[in-house]
Amino acid sequence: MRNLFELLYYFRELLLVLLAVLVSLMLLLTGESRQSFALQDLFTGMIGMMPRTNLGFADIISYKEENQVLRHRLMQYALLNAELVDAARENERLRDMLQFTEESPYELQVAEVISRGASSILSTITLNVGTRHGVEPNFPVLALNGLLGKTISVAPNASIVQLITDRNFRLSVKVGSEGIRGILVPLYGPFAEVTGIPLNSDVRPGDQVLTSGFSDIYPKNLPVALVDEVEVTPGENFSRVTVRIQAEPSEAEHVFIMIDHGPGT
């Protein structure tokens, strides 16, 4: 018995690293368990309580650039708005004619990005709003350019967002003028692939990719990506459609959470 203890003590470092590897592998296999989410919620709360960093000069430069982009965008939206007001009046008139009830508009909560996680690959961001602001898990999160992800862990004053570029993110989308349905699967960086697009579909580079609405989380017609490349391989049943995700997770400073997003279609 004593020899066994001596042997264990002699190999203690090796045994410890094997134990650490074993526990890590178990966590990898059972990562999305209820206990893991509870632990992440706790950690999210701690990040939310941490003091914000003031990066000073670098921030001022980036805010100036962002401000210019926003002004430019505001002007574009102002011009677009004039057209939309006219279209809305016509829509209202037609709805009245068809006796449609008015759909409730989306309720958005503005949030600031306070952290981009500690991993060397960006897969989540932390926002400064949580349950106290009406946020719950599985709420869609939007950047100015399009869908950014969904909330996965929510603490009273902070929430973690799983980004659209995360390896486990999947989204039902529609592509092109015909609205062909497919599943968006992230590839690498800003690129993703839309699977399940039949060969004879009219999908071209530059076509818009929107949420299909076949989801309890995302309402339909949220902008997601633009088609980058369509590849047709002889003998395959589906086209390989590569898209470029419009939202830029690494640059977003402020985002919008859809508090009241209604059911999918």
Partner 1 sequence: MAPVLKIIAMFIGVMLAQLYLAQLLSLGAVRPDFILVFLIFASARYGRINGILLGFSAGLLQDLTGSLSVLGANALAKSVVGYTVGTLNGTMTVWTPRIVNLYIYGSLLGHAIIYQTIMVQGLQASPGILTSHILLEALMSSAIVTGMRYLIPIMPSRA
Q: Which residues bind partner 1 (CB under 8 A)?
A: 12-13, 16-17, 20-21, 23-28, 31-32, 36-37, 39-40, 43, 47, 50, 53, 55, 58, 115-124, 126, 152, 160, 162, 165-168, 185-189, 193, 250
Cβ at position 117, least distance to partner 1 in Å: 4
Considering only CA atoms, give the Rg of the chain: 23
CA angle 42, 47, 50 (to 5 degrees): 130
From the CB of 40, what's the least distance to partner 1, in Å?
A: 5
- Do residues 171 and 217 make contact, with C-beta atoms less than 8 angstroms apart? no
Closest separation in Å from C-beta 157 to partner 1 = 16
Residue 160 CB partners (closer than 8 Å, separation 6+): 40, 44, 124, 125, 126, 127, 151, 152, 153, 154
- Measure the CA–CA gap between 57 and 152, rounded to whole angstroms: 32
Token representation of residue 244: 């470029």
Pairing of strands 254-260, 238-245: unpaired
Quick one: 165 or 172, whose CB is closer to partner 1? 165
HSE toward the beta carbon, residue 106, CA cutoff 13 A? 20
Q: Name the β-bridge partners of 163.
A: 149
CB of 247 to partner 1, least distance (A): 14
Smallest distance, partner 1 to C-beta of residue 89, A:
45
Considering beta carbons, is residue 162 or 213 the nearer one to partner 1? 162
Residue number, 59 or 86, with CB nearest to partner 1: 59
Nearer to partner 1, 61 or 84 (CB): 61
Which of 157, 160, 162, 124 minimizes the C-alpha distance to 52? 157
Closer by beta carbon to partner 1, 165 or else 208? 165
Identity of the residue, 166 or 213, whose beta carbon is nearer to partner 1 in the bound complex: 166
Residues whose CB is less than 8 angstroms from the CB of residue 173 and which lie 6 or more positions away in sequence, other chains included? 181, 182, 183, 184, 194, 209, 210, 211, 212, 224, 225
Q: Between residues 16 and 74, which has the closer beta carbon with respect to partner 1? A: 16
Q: How far is C-alpha 108 from the geometric centre of its chain's CA atoms?
A: 15
Shortest Å, Cβ 226 to partner 1: 19
CB of 133 to partner 1, least distance (A): 21
